[in-house]
Amino acid sequence: MSALKRGSILVLLCTAALFLCACGTESGYKVNSQLAASGKVRLTLIGMNPDFRAMESVISKFCTIYPNCSIEYEYVQNYGKTLPLRLADREDRADLFITTNIQADSTALPYALELLSQGPRLNISQTYSGLIENFTYGGRNGTKLYAVPMDGELRGLYVNTTLLSSLGLKVPRSLDELIACCERLKKAGYVPFQGNPGSFGIGLLYPYICSLVANSPDYPGTYSAVNACEPGISNLFRPAFEILYGFAEKHYYDYKYIESSRGAFANMAEDTMARDFLNIVLSDGSYKKADDRGLVAFLPGTLSWKGILGRTKEDFHSAIEYKFILAPVSSTGGYAYLSPGYGIAVSSASLHRDWALEFLNFFFTGTVNRDFARQENGIPNTKDALDYIRREFRISPEHICQLGQVTFDYPFYQTIREALIDVSKANNPKYMKKDGTMYELQHYMDNLEKALAQYRR
Q: What is the pLDDT of residues 300-359, one digit of tens each?
A: 999 999 999 999 999 999 999 999 999 999 999 999 999 999 999 999 999 999 999 999
Q: What is the pLDDT of residue 24?
A: 44
With vertex at residue 364, the alpha carbon angle to CA 358 and CA 366, rounded to the nearest 5 degrees, is: 130
Cβ proximity of 363 and 58 under 8 Å: yes
Cβ proximity of 326 and 199 under 8 Å: no
Q: What is the arithmetic mean of pLDDT over 223-231?
A: 98
Q: Model confidence over 158-204: pLDDT tens digits?
A: 999 999 999 999 999 999 999 999 999 999 999 999 999 999 999 99
Residues 154, 145: Cα–Cα separation, whole Å: 23
Domains 3-152+340-391 and 155-338+395-453 share a fold: yes
Residues 108, 85: Cα–Cα separation, whole Å: 9
* Residues 312-349 as b or e (16 or more Cβ within 10 Å = b): bbeebebebebebbbbbbbeebbbbbbbbbbbbbbbeb
Q: What is the arithmetic mean of pLDDT over 119-144?
A: 90
DSSP code per residue over 202-216: HHHHHHHHHHHHHT-
Which CA distances in Å does 41 have to 154, 295, 354?
37, 53, 11
- Indicate if the alpha-carbon torsion angle 115, 116, 118, 122 is positive or negative: positive
Residue 109 CB neighbours (<10 A) = 19
Long-range contacts of 307-314 (CB under 8 A, 24+ apart): 307/376, 307/377, 308/270, 308/271, 308/274, 309/158, 309/274, 309/277, 309/278, 311/274, 312/271, 312/274, 312/275, 312/278, 312/280, 313/278
Average pLDDT, the chain: 93
SS3 394: coil
**Which amino acid does the sequence have at 376?**
E
Q: What is the pLDDT of residue 17?
A: 35
Residues 6, 196: Cα–Cα separation, whole Å: 34
Report field, pTM of the whole predicted structure over 0.75:
yes
Q: Where are the domains of the chain?
A: 3-152+340-391, 155-338+395-453
Q: Model confidence over 302-317: pLDDT tens digits?
A: 999 999 999 999 999 9
Report residue 301: phi and psi, to 5°: -170, 175
**Which amino acid does the sequence have at 402?**
Q
Residues 80, 245: Cα–Cα separation, whole Å: 36
Residues 354, 148: Cα–Cα separation, whole Å: 16
Using 50, 70 and 90 to split pLDDT, how confident is the model at 268?
A: confident
Cβ proximity of 453 and 236 under 8 Å: no
In the predicted structure, residue 30 carries a pLDDT above the cut 50:
yes
SS3 121: helix
443 contact partners, CB below 8 Å, separation of at least 6 = none
Tabulate helix, strand, coil % of the chain (nearest 5). Answer: 45, 15, 40
- Fold exhibited by the domain 3-152+340-391: D-Maltodextrin-Binding Protein; domain 2 (3.40.190)
* Residues 83-104 as b or e (16 or more Cβ within 10 Å = b): beebbeeeeebbbbbbbbbbee
Higher pLDDT, 15 or 413: 413
Assigned superfamily of 155-338+395-453: Periplasmic binding protein-like II (3.40.190.10)
Residue 265 CB neighbours (<10 A) = 21
- Residues paired with 41 in a beta bridge: 69
13 contact partners, CB below 8 Å, separation of at least 6 = 59, 60, 63, 64, 70, 71
